[in-house]
Structures are given as C-alpha cells and as structure tokens.
Homo-oligomer: A and B are copies of this chain.
Amino acid sequence: MSSVGEIALRYQLQRGDFSLQVALQLPLSGITGIFGASGAGKTTLLRCIAGLEEAPGSELLVAGERWQDAISSRPAHAREIGYVFQEPRLFSHLDVRANIEYGMRRSPRREAAEFAAVIALLGIDKLLDRKPAELSGGEAQRVAIARALMRAPRFVLMDEPLASLDAARKSEILPYLERLHAESSIPIFYVSHNIDEICCLCDHLVVLDNGHVAASGELQSVLVRMDLPQVMGDAAGSILDGRIANFDANYSLSLLTFAGGELWLPGQLGNIGDRYRLRIRANDVSLSRKRPRDTTVLNLLDVVIEAVQDAPPATQLVRLLAGQQRLVARITRRSREELNLQPGDRVVAQVKAVAVRRPELGE
C-alpha cells in the first residue's frame, strides 16, 4: 500500500455524532498542511497518527513500517514523532528547561548547540528557569514547540502551533520551520486554519471537511482548484517557483525570474541563483488589457486566461497561465464583463510586489 518515503493511512472512528473517515497517502517529506474548519477533524487525525486515539480496524504505514493494522498498534512513545498540541500541555511540575529537556533525554541525538539555537530562535532564553504558570499564552506555546523539536523526531505533528503568536513572532518562526525542514528534512504535518501560514510553509495540502478529505495533493494543484470556494474562502491563490536573478542594492529589491516572466520583490531574498518560491494571493492580482504606465505596481506579467469560475456573490476567480506557471486572480464580476475577459485572451496581470508571501528557503 505504501512505498518508502510515504505515509499511508486509513482511519475510521466515531466520536459522538462526529465520524472521521479518511484514507490518505502523503509524502514523508516536506511540509504537509492540514486545513479545515473548526470541528473538521484536524486534531483527531493528528492524534490518530500519533497513536493517541483508539481506532480499531485502521491502518497506518510509515515509510514501509507498519505502525498500525487490524491486529496491532505501535504505542505512542515508540512512534518517534514530535507533537505540538493545540494547547501547550507543559508539565506543570517542571520548569521550562526541564520541559524541553524531557524529550531530549529520551532521544540521544540532540546537541547542545542545537538546543541553544532553538531556544534563541523561539525567544525563550530568558524563560528557562520559569514554571509554566508564569508564562504568557504565546510564551507557553513557544516552549511547547521547542520541546517537540528537541525530541529529534522522525516527523513532526503541529496542531495550530502559531495561532497564539503575534505576526512578528510568527514571521520569525515560520522561516525557522522551513529551515528546519530544509536542513534536517524532517517532514512536518501542519494543522492550521490560516491559509497564509499553510501556503507559506507547505508543499502538500490536505483539506478536511466534516471528517472527510475534501482535497489532497501538491499545494499548487489544490490551491488552483476552483471547486472548493466554500472550503477555501479567501485562501485562493497560487505558487510561483523561480530563481533569484538579480539584486538591486540601491532600492533593496530582488528580481525573481521564472518560466513566464519576472517579478521584483522587496528585500534581499537570497543569493543570486538561489531557487525561490512565493505565493501570490488571488486577491493581490488584477488584470488589464494593456500595460498600465506610471503606476507604482512594479510587476506586470503577460498571461493567458485559462478558465473563469464564479465565486458568488460578487467576484470571480480567473486562472491564468504565465509561461508554465499558473496564477489565480480574483476580480469583480463587473470588471470581468467590462473588460469582456474570456478564456484564451492575452492580458496583463499586475502583481503588487509588496503583497507577495514569504518564500521557502533552500532547495
């Protein structure tokens, strides 16, 4: 059922009225987002994978190893996962340091330097001697993240780990998670109801709806699916893969080229030649028939309209092809009719450079 480097699972369980019925095959690499409304079953799915739910008759194969089948189930402690719970769950009788060391002690692979790096990154160096009761909500969650990471897991399950963090802290931790994943290639399963976070982080996306899998697949392909407006809400968008081609030190702008065009992005995003990936929200793309002039919109792409889909009541989603790259634009129905946009038309897409999302680092 599952090949090496994959995780294959089939779970069915009932909790009151709610029933989880999922069968998934996910790559054991990269970051897999799990997205869905409150009560969709995201937490339950993670708990199943961690071995915390009894679900007889279910199956879980991880990289060819049978973790659960009809007969037996590997106990939670032997699954070598890191789990960041939805609430911090710090051990109240231990201070912050002992909490973090709890997992380290039980898995011999972590080094002191790594400890220092994680602590510093999460901004909890000054909290090490505190008891959990003396932490703010966000601080406790950061400690919980450090604790799970320092346990040297084979993969990490994260249940809305950043929900209680402010934007600044989030934008510090997100790239760390990316780097962690890039450097150690630890796969991460990342539950979030925040599509920005997911798009920023994930390679794969699973969309859960009321205990069922509404969509699952490579991030880009799920994102540009336009049949999920209810589930996806404002989240529609697309991913561009390119390379950093230039850096304008004067204005601090990086030039990203990809098969189909180029974009100027603020800031120094990497070295020239680095691969780079970015998300463009459908909301941040507008279309014109002609190239506008004298505008602060830096980035204009020549695109072909591939498809148009209604997103009631007032807007429509337009799928665009820029070279081999797909883009999605959200425009009002009126604009579309005024410009009489049709599949096959060549138009100019304006992408607000400052609106692009944080990219994924590394190869």
Contact = CB atoms under 8 A, between A and B. Distances in A.
Contacts of A292: 288, 292-293, 295
Given A38-B139, A193-B165, A354 B315 contact: yes
Given A294-B290, A295-B350, A332-B354, A313 B138 contact: no
A295 B295 CA distance: 12
Q: How many copies does the complex hold?
A: 2
Interface string A334-351: 111101000000000010
Interface of A: 15-17, 36-39, 43, 86-87, 126, 130, 134, 136-139, 142, 159-160, 163-169, 171, 193-195, 233-235, 248, 250-253, 264, 266-268, 283-284, 286-290, 292-298, 312-315, 329-337, 339, 350, 352-355
A251 B334 contact: yes
Q: Which 6 A-B pairs have the closest CB atoms?
A: A38-B138, A266-B314, A166-B193, A288-B295, A251-B334, A289-B294
Contacts of A253: 314, 332-334
A354 B334 contact: no
Contact of A167 (B168, B193, B284, B286): B193
Nearest to A268: B313
A334 B235 CA distance: 29
Contacts of A284: 352, 355
A322 to B, nearest CB: 16
Contacts of A234: 167
A5 to B, nearest CB: 31
Given A87-B87, A296-B339, 5 more contacts: A37-B166, A38-B139, A167-B233, A251-B314, A288-B295
Where chain A touches its partner, the secondary structure class is: mixed
A166 B333 CA distance: 26
A290 B290 contact: no
Given A267-B314, A332-B251, A352 B86 contact: no
Given A137-B87, A167-B193, A295-B288, A354 B337 contact: no
B134 A16 contact: yes
Output the residue of A126, A136, A288, A350 with the most chain B CB within 10 A.
A136
Nearest to A355: B283
Contact of A37 (B39, B43, B168, B248): B168
B130 A266 contact: no
A349 to B, nearest CB: 9
Given A266-B315, A284-B355, A38 B296 contact: no
Contact of A296 (B17, B139, B332): B332
A283 B193 CA distance: 22
Contact of A169 (B38, B138, B330): B38
